[in-house]
Amino acid sequence: MTDISYPLYLDLAAGLFLLTAVGVLWRHQLSAMIRLFALQGAALAAIVAILGIHQHSLELVLVALGLGVLRAGVLPYLARRALGDSPAEARETRPVVNVAASLLAAAALSLLAYAATRPLVALAPSPATGILPAAVAVVLIGFFTLVARRRALSQVVGFLLLDNGITATAFLAAAGVPLIVELGVSFDLLLVVLVLQVLTTRLRTAFGSSDLDELRELHD
Amino acid sequence: MNGTALISTAVQVLVVVAGAPLLVGLMRQVRARLEGRAGAGIGQPWRDLRKLLRRAPATPTGTGWAFRLAPLLLVGTSLVLAAVVPLLTTASPLDRAADLFAIVGLLALGTVTLALAALDTGTAFGGMGASREMTILALVEPTILVAVFALSARVGSTNLAEIVTTTQHDPLRVASPASLLAAAALLIVVVAETGRLPVDNPATHLELTMIHEAMILEYAGTDLALVELAASMRLTILLGLLTSLFLPWGIAGASLAALPLALAAFVAKVAVLGLALGAVEVFIAKLRLFRVPELLAGSFVLALLAVASSFFLV
C-alpha cells in the first residue's frame, strides 16, 4: 500500500462504516439489520488493518483479524440465532421514531459529530484523525438506535453499533488501546450478546413477543 | 471554434432525441426477456410514437391553456437540457447556462407543468397523480441540490462542464466517499424523478397506483406522443448526467475528431446503465406510496453525508 492511496482506502472504509450504521436505521427487517452489522464489523476490521499496515505494526493487524472474526462472524451469528424464525418477530413494525424521521435524526447526529470533533481533529491533523467524526457519528447513531427501537434484538444491534463506534474512536484517536483491554472489552461484548440472547428467548416465551415496552409495569 | 461547438451540440441533441425511445425499448426488452416473454423489440417505442404522431390530439372539454401548453413546454425543457448537459462534449455554446442549479430548475419546470396540466383536466386520477408527483418532487429536489453541492464543493464551481473536466483530469476523485455517496443519492433520485420502479411502475394499468401515468391519462394523439418522447428524453438525459458526473471518460472537448469516440462511449455507458436498471427492476416490487418518503429520506441522508465528507475528509 503506497502512502498516496492510504488516505483513500481509509476514507472508503470509514464511509462504509458510517453508511452501514445509517443502513441499520433505514431497514425494517431484523435479519437485514444483522447483515448490515456484520458488514460494519468487517469495515471496522478493515480500518484497523489499514492503520496496522500503514504503521508496520503486526500487533494491530492481529487485533484487526480478531475484531473481524468477532464482529463480522461470531456476534452476527449469535444475533441471528436469537432472531428465531417466527415471522411476526422478523420486522421492526412500529419503531418509537418512524424511519424517515430517524434517518433525518441520523443526518443531524452526523453533523453534530463533525462539529463536536473539529477541535480534536485540529489537535493532530492526519488521515486517521480525519475520519474520527465518522466514528463518533456511529457512536451517536448507535445510541439513537438503542432509544428509538422497540424490539430487543434491534436494541442489541444498537448497543453493538455503539461499541463499534467506541472501538473505532479508540483506534483512530489514540492509536489503539492496550491489547489486554481490547481483549477484555471483546469478551464482555460476547457475554452481553449471550445474556441478551437468553433474555430475548425468555421474553418471547413469557409475552409472545420481544417488545421491550411490555416490561414497563411490574407484575406479580 | 464556435462552429465545432455548435455541431457537437447539434449531434448531442439529435442523439438524445433519436436514442431516448430506443433506450426505453431496450429496458422493456430486457425486462421481457428476463420474465420469459419474447418482447416487442427495441424499436417498439418509436413505432408507437409514429402511430400516435399521425393521429389528431383530442382535448377534453373544459381544459385550458395549461393542458395544451404542457406537452410543448415539457419537450422544450427536455431539448434545452439535451443541449446544455455535457453528454458528448463539454464545449456547448450554452456552457454558461450549464449550471447545475439551472438544470435542476429546468427539470422541475417540466414536472410542474405536467402536474398543472393534470390538475387542469379536473379528473380524479389527474389530481391524485399530480399531488403524488408534487410530494415526490418536494422530497427529490433538496436531495439533488445537496448532492450537487457535494460535487461542486471540491471543484469550486457549479458549472457542469467544469465538474466533468476536473473529474476527467483526476480520476481518483470518483472513488472518494463524497463522490460515491453522492452517486448513490443521485441514482435513487433519478429513479424517483423518472418514475421507474420501485417508486412508480411505468407499465401499470391500475389507476390507483399510478403517478406519472395518472397525469397523462387524458392526453391523446400528437400530444401524447410529445409527452412520451419528453419522458424518455428526460430518462436518457438523467442517466447520461449520472454517467457524465461519475464516469466521465470519453467525453470530447472542443475538437470534432473526438466526437465519434464520445458518441460510442456515451451510447455504451447509457445502454449498460439502462440494462442494469431494467434487470434490477425485474427483481423488485413497487414500494407502498407511504414508504416512498423513507426511501427518499434515505437518499437525502446519503447526499448530506456526501457534503459532510467532502468538507471534512479533505
pLDDT digit string, tens, across residues B66-122: 888 899 999 999 999 998 888 887 777 777 777 888 888 888 999 999 999 988 888
Residues 6+ apart with CB under 8 A from A98: none
Report pLDDT digits (tens) over B262-297: 888 889 999 999 999 888 888 888 878 778 888 888
Say which residue the cell 466533468 belongs to.
Answer: B164
Report pLDDT digits (tens) over A46-84: 988 888 888 888 888 888 888 888 888 888 888 888 776
Predicted local confidence at residue A92, as pLDDT:
72
Residue B20 is part of which domain span?
2-312
Listed residue (A77, A75, A85) closest to A192, CA to CA = A75
Q: Which of B136, B139, B300, B313 to mutate to test the interface with A (most CBs of A within 10 A)?
A: B313
Nearest Cα of chain A lies from the Cα of B266 at a distance, in angstroms, of: 28
- What is the DSSP-derived secondary structure letter of residue B159? B
Listed residue (B175, B181, B111) closest to B149, CA to CA = B181
Asked if residue B73 lies in contact with residue B106, where contact means CB atoms within 8 angstroms, the answer is: no
Report pLDDT digits (tens) over B76-85: 999 999 988 8
Asked if residue A7 lies in contact with residue A127, where contact means CB atoms within 8 angstroms, the answer is: yes
- Is A210 at the interface with chain B, CB within 8 A? no
> Which chain A residue's Cα is nearest to B313?
A130
Tell me how many domains chain A contains: 1
Tell me how many domains chain B contains: 1
Asked if residue B125 lies in contact with residue B282, where contact means CB atoms within 8 angstroms, the answer is: no
Residue A192 is part of which domain span?
5-216
Listed residue (A41, A116, A115, A84) closest to A198, CA to CA = A84
B-facing residues of A in 130-149 (CB < 8 A) are: 130-131, 133-134
The whole-angstrom separation of Cα B128 and Cα B119 is 9
Q: Which of B170, B301, B311 to mutate to test the interface with A (most CBs of A within 10 A)?
A: B301
Report pLDDT digits (tens) over A106-146: 889 988 988 888 888 888 778 777 888 889 999 999 999 98
- More confidently predicted of B2 and B303: B303
Predicted local confidence at residue B50, as pLDDT:
92
What pTM does this model have? 0.83
Nearest by CB: A131 against B180, B294, B313: B313
Nearest by CB: A133 against B176, B302, B312: B312
